[in-house]
């Protein structure tokens, strides 16, 4: 992985912004959105970005304006925020289990703006009952496990058989199959092309088996930023659902799907203490950066202070060690950190600050922050 010192951006001190704050370079964001739209077009796939990364109506609208077919959300409350703002094609890639969750998604189903991801007849049955009461079948996608071993039935016969049972339930409208190939993060970046082929094979094989039971399975959807550059046209897939590509983070760089220059989001922090020549204390700890770690076990990369690296974080403080003691940032200096995981950082924020280089452009609300239900 190239060293973050290869950043070529001029990071502003942005004195008008109170820290800690989340900074998004609007030009880098725009370039990321365009690049993914082009990748989807080249692979001849529909693009359905996962909004859990940015949770922003403004950014999701940019994605739609660049050709995205719809959006992916993870929680009923998150989907509801986007529905309130007029988004009318939302896929919730998380199973709604329990009456409270069904109550939450009921209005979105009634408005016919939601498709629901499930992997079990036991989840389909109560959904179908609601559909029958409303006299409208509930659109669902069936989740297939192609190697991540999280949710989803194992690819091939096991998934196809359960999906066929789901499809047969009156009140269910099975639209297709989907997977999240999040295990891509465990693969070496040089092998992600092989993984993309494997994922495609496993998901399309499942779709074909499902079709032999008489179900058309029109949508075949994969979802991970890491595989997007390797997906091929005419391979049987119809859709991709990348998320983190919008902002990038250390994990995406480690996975080979972004360079440091593609990292649109940084956490802006202020040096609040210099207890000794070697140590810099900033006002961003785990409450801001999140406890998520990079593969090398750090909270993020310090983008504008050469050689500085995290030694620890407590809730409110980040402790940096200076490799180059010749650089001695004074108290009050602004530090930009590329976090390990952008989505977790954004989740607890009320807003991001969009900048163009060193100029503050606007404050953008994180419309769906803390939508944990």
Q: How many residues in the shown chain lie near ligand PLP by CB under 6 A?
A: 13
Residue 53 binds ligand PLP (CB under 6 A): yes
Residue 153 binds ligand PLP (CB under 6 A): no
Q: Which residues pair with 45 in a beta bridge?
A: none
Per-residue x/- track, 171-200, ligand PLP (CB under 6 A): ---------x-x------------------
Of positions 50, 101, 336, 353, contacts ligand PLP by CB under 6 A: 50
In the complex, least distance from residue 226 CB atom to ligand PLP, rounded to whole angstroms: 6
In the complex, least distance from residue 258 CB atom to ligand PLP, rounded to whole angstroms: 11
Which CB sits closer to ligand PLP, 171 or 223? 223
CA distances for 39 relative to 67, 100, 115, 218, angstroms: 12, 38, 24, 21
In the 8-state DSSP scheme, what is residue 280? E
* 206 φ, ψ (degrees, to nearest 5): -60, -45
Binding range to ligand PLP, per CB under 6 A, among 12-20, 23-31, 197-205, 237-245: 237-245
Of positions 96, 171, 243, 339, contacts ligand PLP by CB under 6 A: 243
Separation of alpha carbons 130 and 142, rounded Å: 18
Separation of alpha carbons 305 and 302, rounded Å: 6
Of positions 56, 219, 225, 266, contacts ligand PLP by CB under 6 A: 225
| Interior angle at CA 66, CA 198 and CA 174, nearest 5 | 50
In the complex, least distance from residue 137 CB atom to ligand PLP, rounded to whole angstroms: 23
Which CB sits closer to ligand PLP, 39 or 280? 39
Separation of alpha carbons 333 and 13, rounded Å: 7
Residue 224 binds ligand PLP (CB under 6 A): yes
CB 338 within 8 A of CB 304: no
What kind and span of H or E run contains 154? strand 153-154
Name the residue among 175, 179, 177 with its Cα closest to residue 145. 179
In the complex, least distance from residue 295 CB atom to ligand PLP, rounded to whole angstroms: 15
Binding range to ligand PLP, per CB under 6 A, among 154-162, 220-228, 231-239, 288-296: 220-228
Q: Look up tokens 């007849």; give the residue.
A: 121
In the complex, least distance from residue 54 CB atom to ligand PLP, rounded to whole angstroms: 10
Binding range to ligand PLP, per CB under 6 A, among 155-163, 217-225, 317-325, 352-360: 217-225
Q: Which alpha helices (DSSP H) does the chain contain, by range?
A: 26-42, 57-65, 76-84, 99-110, 121-134, 157-167, 192-212, 250-254, 286-289, 342-347
Residue 56 binds ligand PLP (CB under 6 A): no
Applying the rule CB under 6 A, the residues between 244 and 283 that interact with ligand PLP are: 244
- What are the percentages of helix, strand and coil residues in the chain, rounded to 5? 35, 25, 40
Which CB sits closer to ligand PLP, 198 or 306? 198
In the complex, least distance from residue 17 CB atom to ligand PLP, rounded to whole angstroms: 26
CB 333 within 8 A of CB 270: yes
Which CB sits closer to ligand PLP, 11 or 94? 94
Per-residue x/- track, 59-98, ligand PLP (CB under 6 A): -------------x--------------------x-----
CA distances for 198 relative to 147, 222, 257, angstroms: 9, 12, 18
Separation of alpha carbons 113 and 123, rounded Å: 19
Of positions 12, 96, 139, 242, contacts ligand PLP by CB under 6 A: 242
Residue 241 binds ligand PLP (CB under 6 A): yes
Which parts of this chain interact with ligand PLP (CB under 6 A)? 50, 53, 72, 93, 180, 182, 223-225, 241-244
């Amino acid at each position: 992985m190239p060293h973050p010192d290869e950043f070529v951006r001029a990071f502003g001190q942005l004195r008008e912004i109170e820290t800690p704050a989340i900074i998004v370079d609007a030009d880098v964001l725009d370039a990321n959105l365009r690049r993914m739209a082009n990748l989807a077009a080249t692979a001849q796939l529909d693009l359905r970005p996962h909004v859990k990364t940015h949770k922003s109506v403004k950014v999701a609208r940019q994605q739609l304006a660049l050709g995205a077919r719809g959006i992916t959300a993870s929680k009923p409350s998150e989907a509801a925020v986007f529905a309130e703002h007029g988004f009318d094609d939302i896929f919730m890639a998380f199973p709604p289990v329990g009456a409270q969750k069904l109550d939450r998604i009921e209005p979105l189903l009634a408005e016919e703006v939601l498709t629901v991801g499930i992997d079990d007849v036991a989840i389909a049955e109560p959904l179908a009952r609601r559909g029958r009461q409303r006299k409208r079948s509930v659109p669902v996608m069936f989740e297939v496990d192609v190697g991540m071993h999280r949710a989803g039935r194992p690819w091939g016969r096991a998934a196809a058989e359960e999906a066929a049972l789901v499809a047969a339930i009156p009140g269910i409208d099975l639209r297709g199959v989907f997977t999240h190939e999040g295990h891509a993060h465990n693969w070496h970046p040089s092998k992600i092309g092989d993984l993309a082929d494997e994922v495609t094979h496993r998901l399309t094989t499942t779709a074909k088996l499902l079709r032999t039971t008489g179900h058309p399975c029109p949508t075949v959807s994969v979802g991970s930023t890491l595989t997007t550059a390797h997906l091929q046209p005419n391979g049987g897939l119809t859709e991709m659902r990348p998320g983190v590509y919008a902002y990038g983070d250390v994990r995406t760089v480690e996975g080979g799907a972004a360079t440091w220059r593609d990292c649109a989001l940084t956490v802006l922090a202020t040096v609040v203490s210099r207890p000794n020549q070697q140590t810099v204390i900033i006002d961003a700890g785990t409450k801001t950066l999140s406890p998520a770690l990079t593969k090398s076990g750090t909270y993020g990369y310090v983008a504008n202070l050469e050689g500085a690296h995290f030694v620890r974080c407590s809730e409110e403080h980040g402790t940096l060690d200076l490799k180059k003691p010749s650089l001695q940032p004074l108290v009050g200096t602004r530090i930009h950190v590329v976090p390990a995981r952008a989505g977790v950082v954004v989740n607890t924020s009320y807003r991001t600050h969009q900048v163009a280089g060193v100029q503050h452009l606007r404050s953008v609300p994180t419309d769906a922050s803390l939508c944990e239900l």
